[in-house]
Amino acid sequence: MTVPLSPLSPLTPSQRDSPVEDDGCSSVRVAVRARPLVEKEIVEKCMECVSYSQDGKQVALGKDRRFTFDHVFGPAVSQEDVYNECVKPLVESCCSGYNATVLAYGQTGSGKTFTMGCGNNVSLLEEELGILPRAIRQLFETVEERSNQAEFLIKCAFVEIYNEDIKDLLHPDTPSKSISIREDANGNIILAGVKEEVVTDFESMIRFLQHGSVFRTTGSTLMNQHSSRSHAIFTIIVEQRSILECANISEVITAKFHLVDLAGSERAKRTGAVGMRFKESVTINCGLLALGNVISALGDEQKRCQHVPYRESKLTRMLQDSLGGNSRTCMIACISTADTNFEETLNSLKYANRARNIRNKPVINRDPHSVMLNQLRQEIRTLQLELLNSRMRNVGLEPVTGPQSMDVLLQDESHQEFLADIRARTDLSVDMTAELDAVRRKNREREYECLKLKDEIQELQSVVSKLEEEMSDVCTERDNYQLKLDEVNSEMTALMQVLPHWEGGNDVSSVVKGHLSEMMKRVIGEIENEGPGYGSSESSFSSLDRPASANAAIRRSEIERSPLNSRERNKSSNSRPRSQLEDSHSVASVRDFLSSPSKGDSRGSNCNSPGGTNRATRNIINQHLRTIRVLEERLAVKESDVKSKDEALKEATEDLARDERIFAEKMKDIKALKQLARDLATEKEILVHKAEKDTAIISRISEEAMAKEDELVRLRTSLETLQSGLPEAFVINGACVPGVPVALIKPKRENVDVRVENNENSDEAKFPTLETAGDVADTVGQARLEDLSEKIKAAEKEKERLLSENKAIEEQKQRLEEDVQAQTQEFKRKKQKGNFFTKCLVGY
């Protein structure tokens, strides 16, 4: 029920409506707006638990919790009144070059979006229009009014902070990563990457507002069907170049007006938020908590000079100018009047109350270039005046002084050309300054893009160098295979080189025997080392039998096998792969020789035992040819091996790329999970803290209830004692009232006509009259009795209230504990999942 409150203590100076105080500071103005019960609350038979004072400055929650604000708006106050009181002066000051901010705070469903007017409902009646459309209208009306005094450039931007990402609502395709919060050279907070739109009239800015509102993230919860899930910030930038005709001075001033619709504080339990909604809820509460911390730090006299945690969240960083900085700020705390929201409303009022202590330092944002230009112009004026005066002195006239002197100068025909020149130069300089600004802006954007590209390139370079390392490992492995292959090839080449000696017939058998036995030993040894499958070959030749020419051939083959040569060979084999055909040409010649008639037979005299030796040699050569065939096969195997290794390398590279992709995804998952875990831990901490506080409150209330109960028992006992001494009835106003305590008979005792009668025949004779019960009817005793009886009633009522309060708190505590349990379980589950991913990655 709404009850008008009597005004409390007078307001302190800082609480009065003083936009700017003596020291140039201005307190953040705080208004409270209560919304009426909504349909759902009426159906649920909720009661109103908020009342307001007549002077519109105080609000009371329940019976005893009162708060004072700059404005308090009850449920019946119109949108227009809220606007006129809170925002109209801000739009005016914005047109005078001051930054301004309006921010709506409150629990979910308390009417923030309704008050700000940034919902996407386009079919609103005039009286339902919120702050935003009204502010835009007033702004363009002012621009129209002042069009002959100044040139205006109006721009707007619309962003939302959703899950700690900033989104450009007017350009939804802009990736969030490309938007960042920066501080410019003058310490002003700017949003790099957000595109501002130039607007020329009311309708087009409203279109931008509606367009952006459509892209805002909303969702349905148990508490609000169209709940905003993000903090929305609509910014209007007003740039104006004013021209002061008389002084021929123009100055450029810029002001920013932030209109902020914060996401509502909420309890997951009440909104029924799960999954995505729950995550949103956690980030919303974290953002509001960070805002609360900033408000506390700024509002506390002792903490004011200490660190203010603006960087805790994107919201607080963006509002850095608005809270404790260069801005005139008004905070509208929206509350629900329903008794079911008692606790949330109390929290909102406490939160808003702290914001009243914040002191901002608003200044007119003059363009430093235009200030300098004006100084120069002033100097020119002074010089021109001096010139005029010296001329006047020359012609024997009195010099002109005072403010009119310049006008005289300006009207002088002879100076017109000179002045026109100066004006042209000044205009040129202004244009150039604007151009310079534009170039600087562009430069900053480019620099930012460059930085981003550099980061990307660095990342890519590290990936490439990693891949190169892996590639070089694989290539080394392949080279090893190639080396082995070359060694086999060189063995074959060495073998072929021996053949001319054999064909030359000069101690042929011992040359071939010696060399081949050496070759065989090595090749067989290698084959055996490499594994089974190539057969074994025994050799009875000794290296001692080897002639010098064979040794030279082997040396050549060894030189060819040396790493340097093998590298060179590798090179040449890379450009022109060595074919087995080259070697097989020599092998073929050996085969031809073996199939032709024995040359050794015809040469005769040079051989010790020509027929037998040649046959033996042929056998050996045949044997070696078999070995060569084996080697050829081995070579083919090696080559196919290399081929398969190449394919494996390709596959491995693809696998690597795929694994890298998976790795990156997993890392992302882990990051998200870690963040979630952190969020959950924070929320858990908050809940545990709250639960502890609630437990303390419960125990305090229980103690109070017990004390009251003791008091009640004591009062009852004393009442019974008193009643035991009472007569059974009294004669009051001529009527006999049996056994009723005097205190309960209305009207009160002093108005009762108590007559002393003692008629033995009447019924009254059966009962003692007041005279007979003289002691009991004693005035003091009766008053005491009345008093006691009232006390008992009050105590009983108090007890009932305390018990019901106790019960509510118990229920709330239970709810909180359930909440904590559910969240702890969720946290554990997420942690397990995180551990699992980490294990997977470690395994990987």
- Residue 110 assigned to a binding site: yes
Would you say 154 or 333 has its CB closer to ligand ATP?
333
Of the candidates 366, 365, 278, the one whose C-alpha atom is nearest the C-alpha of residue 326 is 365
Give the shortest CB-685-to-ligand ATP separation in angstroms: 24
Q: Is there a contact between 257 and 236 (Cβ–Cβ < 8 Å)?
A: yes
Which residue is listed with tokens 């690597």?
656
Q: Is there a contact between 355 and 29 (Cβ–Cβ < 8 Å)?
A: no
Would you say 227 or 250 has its CB closer to ligand ATP?
227
Long-range contacts of 458-466 (CB under 8 A, 24+ apart): 463/660
Q: Is there a contact between 237 and 155 (Cβ–Cβ < 8 Å)?
A: yes
Quick one: which segment of 102-110, 614-622, 629-637, 660-668 binds ligand ATP (CB under 6 A)?
102-110
Contacts (Cβ under 8 Å, ≥6 apart) of 521: 539
Would you say 262 or 523 has its CB closer to ligand ATP?
262
Give the shortest CB-36-to-ligand ATP separation in angstroms: 5
Q: What are phi and psi of 217, to 5 degrees?
A: -80, 120
Q: Tell whether residue 38 is a contact of ligand ATP (CB under 6 A).
A: yes
Which of 27, 93, 99, 113 binds ligand ATP (CB under 6 A)? It is: 113
- Residue 824 assigned to a binding site: no
38: region left, alpha or beta (phi > 0 left; psi from -120 to 50 alpha): beta
Give the shortest CB-217-to-ligand ATP separation in angstroms: 10
Q: How far, in Å, CA of 417 to CA of 794, rounded?
A: 94
Which of 29, 57, 112, 569 binds ligand ATP (CB under 6 A)? It is: 112
Give the shortest CB-63-to-ligand ATP separation in angstroms: 24
The DSSP-derived string for 34-80 is EEPPPHHHHHTT--B-EEEBTTSSEEEETTTEEEE-SEEE-TT--HH
Which of 106, 287, 547, 600 binds ligand ATP (CB under 6 A)? It is: 106
Q: Is there a contact between 104 and 112 (Cβ–Cβ < 8 Å)?
A: yes
List the structure tokens of 132: 């935003």
Would you say 78 or 759 has its CB closer to ligand ATP?
78
Give the shortest CB-132-to-ligand ATP separation in angstroms: 13
Quick one: which segment of 106-114, 517-525, 703-711, 761-769 binds ligand ATP (CB under 6 A)?
106-114
Q: Tell whether residue 793 is a contact of ligand ATP (CB under 6 A).
A: no
Which of 159, 334, 485, 550 binds ligand ATP (CB under 6 A)? It is: 334
Q: Tell whether residue 283 is a contact of ligand ATP (CB under 6 A).
A: no
Q: Tell whether residue 109 is a contact of ligand ATP (CB under 6 A).
A: yes
Would you say 38 or 410 has its CB closer to ligand ATP?
38
Q: Is there a contact between 795 and 712 (Cβ–Cβ < 8 Å)?
A: yes
List the structure tokens of 531: 């594994």
CA 96 to centroid of chain Cα atoms: 34
Q: Tell whether residue 228 is a contact of ligand ATP (CB under 6 A).
A: yes
Which of 189, 263, 358, 587 binds ligand ATP (CB under 6 A)? It is: 263
Q: How far, in Å, CA of 737 to CA of 517, rounded?
A: 146
Would you say 156 or 263 has its CB closer to ligand ATP?
263
Q: Is 836 exposed, middle or buried (0-12, 13-18, 19+ CB in 10 A)?
A: exposed
Which of 117, 133, 264, 741 binds ligand ATP (CB under 6 A)? It is: 264
Q: Tell whether residue 226 is a contact of ligand ATP (CB under 6 A).
A: yes
- Residue 108 assigned to a binding site: yes
Give the shortest CB-197-to-ligand ATP separation in angstroms: 25
Q: Is there a contact between 767 and 729 (Cβ–Cβ < 8 Å)?
A: yes
- Residue 254 assigned to a binding site: no
Q: Tell whether residue 108 is a contact of ligand ATP (CB under 6 A).
A: yes
Of the candidates 574, 448, 808, the one whose C-alpha atom is nearest the C-alpha of residue 566 is 574
Which of 58, 99, 138, 227 binds ligand ATP (CB under 6 A)? It is: 227
Give the shortest CB-261-to-ligand ATP separation in angstroms: 7
Give the shortest CB-744-to-ligand ATP separation in angstroms: 47
- Residue 130 assigned to a binding site: no
- Residue 109 assigned to a binding site: yes
Would you say 120 or 539 has its CB closer to ligand ATP?
120
Which of 110, 250, 384, 493 binds ligand ATP (CB under 6 A)? It is: 110
Which residue is listed with tokens 């081949």?
516
Would you say 57 or 112 has its CB closer to ligand ATP?
112
Which of 20, 25, 36, 593 binds ligand ATP (CB under 6 A)? It is: 36
The DSSP-derived string for 406-448 is HHHHHH-GGGHHHHHHHHHHHHHHHHHHHHHHHHHHHHHHHHH
Give the shortest CB-110-to-ligand ATP separation in angstroms: 4
Report the run of H or E that residue 335 belongs to, with start and end.
strand 328-336
Q: Is there a contact between 142 and 236 (Cβ–Cβ < 8 Å)?
A: no
Strands (E), 245-368: 249-261, 328-336, 359-360
Give the shortest CB-276-to-ligand ATP separation in angstroms: 15
Q: Is there a contact between 727 and 778 (Cβ–Cβ < 8 Å)?
A: no
Q: Is there a contact between 202 and 137 (Cβ–Cβ < 8 Å)?
A: yes
Quick one: which segment of 107-115, 157-165, 395-403, 489-497 binds ligand ATP (CB under 6 A)?
107-115
Would you say 225 or 461 has its CB closer to ligand ATP?
225
Strands (E), 148-196: 150-162, 165-168, 180-183, 189-192
Quick one: which segment of 24-32, 101-109, 273-281, 392-400 binds ligand ATP (CB under 6 A)?
101-109
Q: Is there a contact between 219 and 247 (Cβ–Cβ < 8 Å)?
A: no
Give the shortest CB-814-to-ligand ATP separation in angstroms: 26
- Residue 111 assigned to a binding site: yes
Q: Please work out the total of residues on this chain that contact ligand ATP, with binding judged by CB under 6 A.
A: 18
What is the binding site for ligand ATP (CB under 6 A)?
Answer: 35-36, 38, 106, 108-114, 224, 226-228, 263-264, 334
Give the annotated binding-site residues for ATP.
106-113
